[in-house]
Amino acid sequence: MADKKAKSIDQATIELIEKAAKDNCNIAFDRADEMKPCPIGSVGSCCKNCGMGPCRVPLPRGKEETPEEQMKRRGICGATAETISARNFVRMIAGGSAAHSDHGRGVAELFLAVAKGEASGYEIKDEQKLLQLALEWGIEIGDRSNNEIAIDIGEKALAEFGKQEGELLFISRAPLKRQEIWRREGVVPRGIDREVVEIMHRTHMGVDQDYDNLLKQGTRAALADGWGGSMIATELQDILFGTPSPLLSQVNLGVLKKDEVNIIIHGHEPLLSEMIVAAAQDPQMLEMAKSKGAKGINLAGICCTANEILMRHGVPLAGNFLQQELALVTGAVDAMVVDVQCIFESLPEVAQCYHTKIVTTSYKAKMKGATHIEFEEHDALTSAKEIVKLAIENFPNRGSNIHIPEEKTDLIAGFSHETINYLLGGLFRASYRPLNENIINGRIRGVAGVVGCNNPRAMHDEAHVAMVKELIKNDVLVLQTGCSAMATAKAGLLVPEAAAQYAGAGLAEVCETVGIPPVLHMGACVDNSRILIAATAAVKDGGLGDDISDLPVAGAAPEWMSEKAIAIGQYFVTSGVFTVFGVTWPTTGSKEVTDFLFEGIEEKYGGKWAFEQDPIKAARLMIEHIDKKRAALGIDKARERVLYDMAMRRELDEV
Ligand code: NFS
Ligand code: SF4
């Protein structure tokens, strides 16, 4: 049992929190102790959308409110608690969708530049996926070169962001029934940018004042993220950098090396980090590192950039979101390179306690106290080498106050949709048939996507690991992305051996036969789009209903903190998936809005939200939902038989 007062279940994290305190270095864990969340803002009851406010409309404490009292609880403009809560919620969706999608746009721009031969150092790595996408989008292949085809794809992808009318192209990937539901509800996204802008318009003072209508636009923008911006990011990154396939790597701060130049890549976009991977292997750079007394150059990642280069190059993971400052506290990081998203502004401050150079690389994300070396897509390798050089030159400045924790754990990553298809179905007839069959016969009870962040308001990594263990114990195959995957990787759940140790007998049997872990790492948070594709493939393979909402699946983000997580949750829910969040829930200031998200929304979309802080209880909610779906499909009996067989076998063994 974890010590309830501890800040983390991870030993490396605990050690470095202690070291930070000794070094007098203020970190997020300290700040979270010093500042409690605002009780009004945290439930969505504070509006600051205009200069008449901020207006606070908190629920009265300790007594039931009469409808008249509730009607009086309004902002200066008359906005009700419902409107304010819904506006805040959909603005979170706008923020999250914008972040994922602007990342996707950046990829599309680079993709086009590469196709036009204007971005040296990059090339199209996955020809097969390029041609598949060309077929899907009706782009002529004939005897045209890859680059000619890629120009058309890049232009079409970029046009998705500014499309004024019609439907996003990837919407047609969803099961037909799902598409009909979205059309019926009027939420099929047009251009990605348009949906985000429309949220900002409708949540401006005095515009949309109907929470239901606001949430509808939130859905449209969230779908524009999951089936638009994020999916474009994943697909084009795969074509450009290669579609991931299983590989072995390691996770946790123990991957830092005492005698090598340590460079941490942190943030989200793989565009530049792909080049840093290349620059770090450059013989000239290695020579330079040796001349400074280092044995080599060691790259490791934090947050989703880490996941991107892990998935495609096996670069080890230094840690997840809440370990970013702690990486610097080791005293062994010579440079930390950041691009966009999830980057603590305190990093340059923490770096000052040690010797680390913080390097910003995006014109969109600068920081006081950091060195800015801008990512130049036309000559990315030069920027990358400049960064590596800076780290090398900083290596001799390492002080003696160094502590690299011992913790590092093996993991297998690289489970793209294509890989799962191939691993389960075999080279000549890739398919989801074996997965579906094992779900139907009950060996696999269902599938869960467990994703999302860390949040210092909850014990670091605890909920991820507890939830995932509970799920696999109950024969639920777990798909993961983001910081959640890193949490369970540290706990040793991302290796095939974890099946025998932690999984239920049915799931373990399947994992052992195929040779996969019971928990599959599918990549960064934009790669949640891979989970949508996997779910759709399972539907299309047959036997499990005709929509995502028929599948025995569930989703969760037990330690979420980011607006991106809310956008992801909303597109999962409205794609038909029951989704549970932990830590805190941002609409409880309005009973109507919360009831709608937790109940009413299911009637429209077949999926709904839930909030449960206890990870075991949350896992049970997911399993209950999975069992409900199994019963509706009429496959619950099969599972009973499987369990009966197991019990009989055990009995026989005991005799
Ligand atoms: Ni996802 Fe990735 Fe981590 Fe949360 Fe941040 S890194 S995009 S947002 S904290 S999982
Ligand atoms: Fe207050 Fe209305 Fe202005 Fe919001 S928009 S700050 S509720 S007056």
Which token pair is 262? 């340590």
Over range 396-408, report the average pLDDT.
95
Within 339-494, strands assigned E span 357-360, 371-372, 409-413, 446-450, 476-480
- Select from 3.90.1640.10, 3.40.960.10, 3.40.50.2030, 3.40.50.1860 the CATH code of 253-397: 3.40.50.2030
Over range 295-319, report the average pLDDT.
96
Distance 16 CA to ligand 1 centre (A): 21
- Give the bridge partners for 409, in sequence order: 251
User: How confident is the model at residue 101, as a pLDDT?
Assistant: 97
Question: Which CATH number does 415-633 carry?
Answer: 3.40.50.2030
Domain residue limits, the chain? 81-241, 253-397, 415-633
Using the predicted structure, report yes or no on whether residue 646 has a pLDDT greater than 80. Answer: no
Mean pLDDT of the chain: 94
Distance 88 CA to ligand 2 centre (A): 12
Gap between the Cα atoms of 109 and 196, Å rounded: 20
Task: Collapse the DSSP code of 367 into the 3-class scheme (helix H, G, I; strand E, B; otherwise coil) and give the result.
Answer: coil
Distance 71 CA to ligand 2 centre (A): 15
Q: Which ligand is nearest to the CA of 339?
A: 1
- Give the bridge partners for 446, in sequence order: 476
pLDDT in tens, 586-614: 999 999 999 999 999 999 999 999 999 99
From residue 191, alpha-carbon distances to 101, 153, 194, 507 in Å are: 11, 16, 5, 41
Q: Which ligand is nearest to the CA of 48?
A: 2
Over range 369-387, report the average pLDDT.
93
Same fold, 81-241 and 415-633: no
Give the confidence band of 428 by pLDDT, cuts at 50, 70, 90: low
| Residue 337, phi then psi, degrees to nearest 5 | -105, 125
CATH architecture for the domain at 81-241: Up-down Bundle (1.20)
Using the predicted structure, report yes or no on whether residue 400 has a pLDDT greater than 70. Answer: yes
User: How confident is the model at residue 655, as a pLDDT?
Assistant: 43
Tell the residue number behind the tokens 């802080």, with chain if given.
Answer: 613
Q: Which ligand is nearest to the CA of 56?
A: 2
Whole-prediction pTM: 0.96
Using the predicted structure, report yes or no on whether residue 470 has a pLDDT greater than 50. Answer: yes
CA angle 222, 226, 232 (to 5 degrees): 130
User: How confident is the model at residue 639, as a pLDDT?
Assistant: 79
Q: What letter does residue 428 receive in the DSSP assignment?
A: T
Gap between the Cα atoms of 314 and 300, Å rounded: 10
Give the confidence band of 641 by pLDDT, cuts at 50, 70, 90: confident
pLDDT in tens, 90-141: 999 999 999 999 999 999 999 999 999 999 899 999 999 999 999 999 999 9
- Give every CB contact of residue 152 below 8 A, 6+ residues apart in sequence: 134, 137, 139, 140
Atom of ligand 1 nearest to the CA of 342: 5
- Ligand 1 within 6 A of CB of 342: yes
- Ligand 2 within 6 A of CB of 52: yes
Over range 340-358, report the average pLDDT.
96
Task: Collapse the DSSP code of 222 into the 3-class scheme (helix H, G, I; strand E, B; otherwise coil) and give the result.
Answer: helix
Answer yes or no: are the C-beta atoms of 577 and 549 closer than 8 Å. yes
| Residue 110, phi then psi, degrees to nearest 5 | -65, -40
Long-range contacts of residues 368-376, Cβ cutoff 8 Å, at least 24 apart: 370/338, 375/271, 375/272, 375/339
Distance 561 CA to ligand 1 centre (A): 8
